């Protein structure tokens, strides 16, 4: 059992895996969109690292099936379901609260600017935003709320929600599991010994598009204003 030592632990996927395992992982994935705190919790990196530990996680929670593939599938499916439920809660919250959220003051767990970013993303990409947002930190936290605010069709949202959740979960979980196997078998490299570097790479890959959109989008808006 791991113990909390500093705020840095909150950004370390391995901490959650060792501290709470299967059930804590599911709660965090749900909380990303269901409780709207995903902008500071690990998301993509948690899934990738969970894939590396998939067999151990499933074995400790419900017992291993004896098959790496089945254990990894069970973990990926459970995480996808948690992600679907989280998004549905976010969507319901958006439909119920509507415009009131735009008047809400910023708090530690709620930042209005993220809501605007998710709204712009949704407007630009339409219904596909629900699927695409799964792979973008911060945006995925608020996109279901925006979908609810704009009263996106419930059935359409549910379908896109399921597709996005399963694509996100299975791609990252299986990538983590089988890349770990590949590197160990082919190069003798244990990815568990290089998690800090892996997490840094994943964070860069997932956040660079958002950073570029923020800076270049802002520059484009300024140019349009000048014209």
pLDDT along the chain (227 residues), means of 10: 54 82 92 74 83 94 93 97 95 84 71 74 77 84 85 90 95 92 80 71 63 51 45
The predicted pLDDT at position 209 comes to: 59
38 C-beta neighbours (distance < 10 Å), count: 24
Would you call 105 exposed, middle or buried from its count of C-beta atoms within 10 A (0-12, 13-18, 19+)? exposed
Confirm whether pTM is higher than 0.85: no
Q: What's the rounded Cα separation, in Å, for the pair 78 and 169?
A: 9
Smallest CA-to-CA distance from 157 within 143, 169, 138, 177 is with 143
Contact yes or no for 173/76 (Cβ under 8 A): yes
113 C-beta neighbours (distance < 10 Å), count: 11
The predicted pLDDT at position 10 comes to: 64
The predicted pLDDT at position 170 comes to: 96
The predicted pLDDT at position 138 comes to: 78
The predicted pLDDT at position 161 comes to: 95
Region label for 190, one of left (φ > 0), alpha (ψ between -120 and 50) or beta (otherwise): beta
Contact yes or no for 79/169 (Cβ under 8 A): yes
The predicted pLDDT at position 4 comes to: 47
Q: What's the rounded Cα separation, in Å, for the pair 222 and 227?
A: 9
């Amino acid at each position: 059992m791991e113990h909390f030592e500093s705020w840095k632990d909150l950004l370390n996927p391995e901490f959650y895996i060792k501290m709470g395992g299967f059930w804590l992982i599911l709660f965090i994935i749900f909380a990303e969109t269901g409780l709207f705190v995903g902008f500071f919790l690990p998301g993509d990196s948690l899934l990738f690292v969970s894939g590396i530990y998939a067999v151990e996680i499933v074995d400790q929670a419900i017992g291993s099936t004896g098959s790496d593939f089945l254990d990894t599938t069970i973990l990926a499916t459970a995480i996808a379901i948690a992600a679907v439920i989280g998004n549905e809660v976010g969507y319901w919250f958006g439909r119920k609260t509507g415009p009131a959220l735009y008047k809400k003051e910023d708090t530690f767990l709620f930042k209005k600017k993220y809501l605007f970013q998710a709204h712009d993303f949704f407007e630009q990409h339409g219904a596909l935003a629900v699927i695409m947002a799964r792979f973008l930190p911060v945006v995925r936290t608020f996109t279901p709320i925006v979908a609810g605010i704009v009263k996106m069709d419930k059935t359409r949202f549910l379908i896109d929600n399921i597709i996005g959740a399963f694509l996100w979960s299975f791609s990252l979980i299986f990538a983590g599991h089988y890349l770990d196997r590949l590197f160990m078998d082919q190069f003798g490299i244990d990815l568990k010994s290089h998690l800090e570097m892996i997490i840094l790479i994943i964070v860069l890959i997932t956040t660079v598009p958002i950073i570029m959109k923020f800076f270049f989008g802002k520059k484009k808006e300024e140019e349009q204003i000048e014209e």
